[in-house]
Amino acid sequence: PSRLCGNQFLTESRFLDNQFSGQRYQTSPLPRMSIAVAPEVAAALARGAAVVALESTIISHGMPYPKNLQTAVEVEAVVRETGAIPATIAILDGVPHVGLSSEQLKRLAISGRQFQKTARRDIAHVVASGGNGATTVSATMFFAHKVGIPIFVTGGIGGVHRHGEQTMDISSDLTELGKTPVAVISAGVKSILDISRTLEYLETQGVTVAAYRTNEFPAFFTETSGCQAPCRVDSAEECAKIIYANRNLHLCSGILIAVPIPTHHAASGNIIESAIQKALKEAEEKRIIGNAITPFMLERVKELTGGSSLEANIALVKNNARLGAEVAVALSNLQQ
């Protein structure tokens, strides 16, 4: 794997001592930071086997307990069945972890929102304070790349918010995709966001955006968004070839593979849209801003659509996990 995109691969094995006091923080040199990679994940990476990264905000903030734990366990199982090793990423007691044990996964799921939603900007603070962080797409990409995992599966990514041209609320997921060579497999972006501006912004950032077996960019709960995808792929092998080319050319930017929700789970666009309109109005009235908007919108849309959106959400994440693992296997074969 290339070492040319940022300082990938930390070799330092000592863990950050999260017991240190403010005093020691100032007077002695900081311990070297490190990432705890699960033995199974480290072994797979060392032999060039297929590994798939998974995010943790979807578990802590995206779904309620115990459905979140059940989903996390099932998604990992789908990845394994397909021949890859899952690596869920989170920060535990100040230490970034790549690959969680079942106890750690359970702790994350039960703690839910007590874990801090951690995007790229939050990483240093969560680590320095010895905190617990659930990583968003941007932070998960960052850690996946650091340890050499080129593929990451999630449900939906963040994007340009509606009225983002005024608020400048643009998810750091998009800038991360611009500068970190990880392929993110998602069901597109939710229509709580401005999808066409999200695609414009991804173009500006130089992100390869491909829709899987469709010409249209999908909108998470619906297969269509009214926006054409810049390119189309029809197999896991095609996806792997794009990742391979991206790496060989040292493009150093990310790839977004957008997979439409399985047809029988797709929701009615009208029902979703009216729920979104109502939730957006409430968010404005309650003056919800910043990183609280996305969790608020996800929760309200779920409630307003009678919880059926949760089942759809679970189904599409599993669907994405299967493709992600297939792509990881295909990429591993290309590299042998």
So which residues are the catalytic ones? 55, 190
Query: Sign of dihedral through CA atoms 16, 18, 21, 22?
Result: positive
Total residues contacting ligand PSU (rule CB under 6 A)?
Answer: 19
**What's the rounded Cα separation, in Å, for the pair 283 and 26?**
41
Candidate list 152, 201, 220, 221; residue touching ligand PSU; CB under 6 A: 220
CB-based closest residue to Mn ion: 169
Q: Is 156 in the site for ligand PSU (CB under 6 A)?
A: yes
Min CB(139)–ligand PSU separation in Å: 8
Binding mask 141-180 for Mn ion (x = CB under 5 A): ----------------------------x-----------
Candidate list 97, 145, 190, 300; residue touching ligand PSU; CB under 6 A: 190
User: Omega before 66 cis (within 30°)?
Assistant: yes
> Of the ranges 53-61, 223-231, 258-266, 324-332, which one interacts with ligand PSU (CB under 6 A)?
53-61
Q: Is 136 in the site for ligand PSU (CB under 6 A)?
A: yes
Candidate list 137, 183, 229, 258; residue touching ligand PSU; CB under 6 A: 137
Candidate list 55, 76, 122, 216; residue touching ligand PSU; CB under 6 A: 55
Candidate list 35, 41, 54, 62; residue touching ligand PSU; CB under 6 A: 62
Q: Is 298 in the site for ligand PSU (CB under 6 A)?
A: yes
CB-based closest residue to ligand PSU: 156
**What's the rounded Cα separation, in Å, for the pair 176 and 138?**
5
Binding mask 75-114 for ligand PSU (x = CB under 6 A): ----------------------------------------
Q: Is 202 in the site for ligand PSU (CB under 6 A)?
A: no
Q: Is 76 in the site for Mn ion (CB under 5 A)?
A: no
State the SS3 of the chain: CCCCCCCCCCCCCCCCCCCCCHHHHHHCCCCCCCCEECHHHHHHHHCCCCEEEECCHHHHCCCCCCHHHHHHHHHHHHHHHCCCEEEEEEEECCEEEECCCHHHHHHHHHHHHHCEEECHHHHHHHHHCCCCEEECHHHHHHHHHHHCCCEEECCCCCCEECCHHHHCCECHHHHHHHHCCCEEEECECCCCECHHHHHHHHHHCCCEEEEECCCECCECCECCCCCECCEEECCHHHHHHHHHHHHHCCCCCCEEEECCCCHHHCCCHHHHHHHHHHHHHHHHHCCCCHHHHHHHHHHHHHHHCCCHHHHHHHHHHHHHHHHHHHHHHHHHHHHC
> Of the ranges 37-45, 56-64, 96-104, 177-185, which one interacts with ligand PSU (CB under 6 A)?
56-64
Q: Is 155 in the site for ligand PSU (CB under 6 A)?
A: yes
Min CB(248)–ligand PSU separation in Å: 28
Chain residues in the site for Mn ion (CB under 5 A): 169
Chain residues in the site for ligand PSU (CB under 6 A): 55, 57-58, 62, 119, 136-137, 155-158, 171-173, 190, 220, 291, 294, 298
